[in-house]
């Protein structure tokens, strides 16, 4: 029996090896595909914390993905136009430095998750899904109609943002950055799961009455999980914008929220390896099946149907059996 730990490390290693092999074989496009998978996986690591462990079915995680994207887009746009941002008396020059952009992306999306969570967590079940979806739509239409940063057309950033000591324009180096962040986030979630916080969050999903009777407020756990979840997905959004050197309202769309959820469920909700497996499978299908057949989404739908009906543990569950979370 393969343990969760081996599977997670194996999935991460495989993704890294694919990128390295493609780099050696001089196929930068495949490196970019692997980068896309790593970024989607990072977004899914975020959602998996809320959905898989916390049982919070958020159909609005594109909010955080988009906020991360726009954090990058807006900061980099001001920097490339040499046009400082004015907020009241404050003047912010913008930046093309990735670490600074990441910090802003994490802070902004974490704050948004806190505010959305405070409201949305008053509800549960279908209402929670609807309220998170509603927030997603609000952000989407705001981004479409706000002319300052491109509105519907989005923002193009001409040069990929920089990271000290690296040439981020080199596909394999940018992949390395994304991969390192994915590994770090996976490690963070692995640590949380082993800690009392993860234990309590996991129990709150299954038996909230029990958790209360043990002296713990489930709502506080859920809110904390939602904030960390949103921050991680926001970071992924900033990377995604940098990958494409472009950000548009599509990053806020509910289709994107749905796709992040597909990564999680396809890979295995609540499983540590789930996000990587799900996102990698999605990107692989998107590329190869999409290249053969325009209607490949039908096959994805069938696969998802199969997973939900017959293999609740997703791909991770198929490999390791239905071991517990």
Residues at the site binding other proteins, with contacts judged by CB under 8 A = 191-192, 194-197, 199-200, 202-203, 206-207, 209-217, 220-221, 224, 324-325
Smallest gap, in angstroms, from Cβ of residue 210 to other proteins? 4
Residue number with CB closer to other proteins (207 or 298): 207
Smallest gap, in angstroms, from Cβ of residue 221 to other proteins? 6
Residue number with CB closer to other proteins (152 or 217): 217
Residue number with CB closer to other proteins (62 or 192): 192
Smallest gap, in angstroms, from Cβ of residue 322 to other proteins? 10
Smallest gap, in angstroms, from Cβ of residue 101 to other proteins? 26
Nearest alpha carbon to residue 239 among 303, 174, 193, 170: 174
Exposure string for 32-53, b = 16+ CB within 10 A, e = fewer: bbbbbbbbbbbbbbbbbbbbbb
Residue number with CB closer to other proteins (51 or 211): 211
Smallest gap, in angstroms, from Cβ of residue 42 to other proteins? 20
Residue number with CB closer to other proteins (86 or 194): 194
Smallest gap, in angstroms, from Cβ of residue 41 to other proteins? 23
Smallest gap, in angstroms, from Cβ of residue 104 to other proteins? 24
Nearest alpha carbon to residue 167 among 153, 177, 181: 177
Residue number with CB closer to other proteins (73 or 230): 230
- Using CA atoms, how far apart are residues 218 and 73, in angstroms rounded to an integer? 36
Residue number with CB closer to other proteins (79 or 192): 192
Asked whether the beta carbons of 113 and 231 are under 8 A apart, the reply is: yes
Residue number with CB closer to other proteins (69 or 208): 208
Smallest gap, in angstroms, from Cβ of residue 263 to other proteins? 22
Asked whether the beta carbons of 283 and 84 are under 8 A apart, the reply is: no
């Amino acid at each position: 029996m393969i343990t969760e730990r081996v599977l997670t490390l194996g999935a991460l290693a495989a993704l890294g090896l694919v990128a390295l092999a493609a780099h050696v074989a001089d196929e930068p496009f495949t490196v970019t595909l692997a980068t896309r998978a790593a970024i989607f996986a990072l977004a899914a690591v975020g959602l998996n914390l809320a959905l898989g462990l916390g049982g919070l079915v958020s159909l609005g995680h594109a909010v955080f993905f988009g906020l991360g994207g726009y954090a990058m887009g807006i900061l980099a746009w001001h920097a490339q136009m040499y046009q400082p941002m004015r907020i009241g008396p404050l003047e912010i020059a913008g930046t093309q430095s990735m670490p600074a952009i990441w910090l802003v992306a994490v802070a902004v999306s974490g704050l948004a998750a806190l505010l959305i969570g405070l409201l949305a967590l008053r509800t549960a079940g279908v209402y929670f899904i609807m309220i998170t979806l509603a927030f997603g739509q609000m952000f989407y239409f705001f981004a479409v109609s706000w002319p300052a940063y491109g509105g519907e057309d989005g923002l193009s950033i001409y040069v990929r943002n920089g990271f000290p000591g690296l040439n981020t324009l080199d596909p394999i180096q940018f992949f390395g950055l994304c991969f390192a962040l994915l590994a770090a986030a996976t490690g963070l979630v692995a640590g949380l799961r082993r800690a009392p916080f993860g234990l309590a969050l996991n129990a709150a999903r299954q038996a909230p009455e029990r958790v209360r009777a043990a002296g713990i407020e489930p709502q506080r756990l859920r809110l904390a999980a939602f904030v960390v979840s949103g921050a991680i997905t926001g970071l992924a959004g900033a990377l995604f914008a940098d990958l494409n050197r472009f950000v548009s309202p599509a990053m806020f769309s509910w289709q994107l929220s749905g796709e992040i959820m597909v990564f999680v469920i396809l890979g295995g909700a609540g499983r540590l390896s789930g996000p990587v497996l799900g996102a990698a499978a999605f990107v692989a299908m998107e590329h190869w099946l999409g290249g053969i057949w325009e209607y490949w989404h039908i096959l994805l739908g069938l696969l998802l149907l199969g997973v939900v009906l017959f293999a609740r543990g997703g791909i991770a569950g198929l490999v390791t059996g239905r071991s517990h979370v």
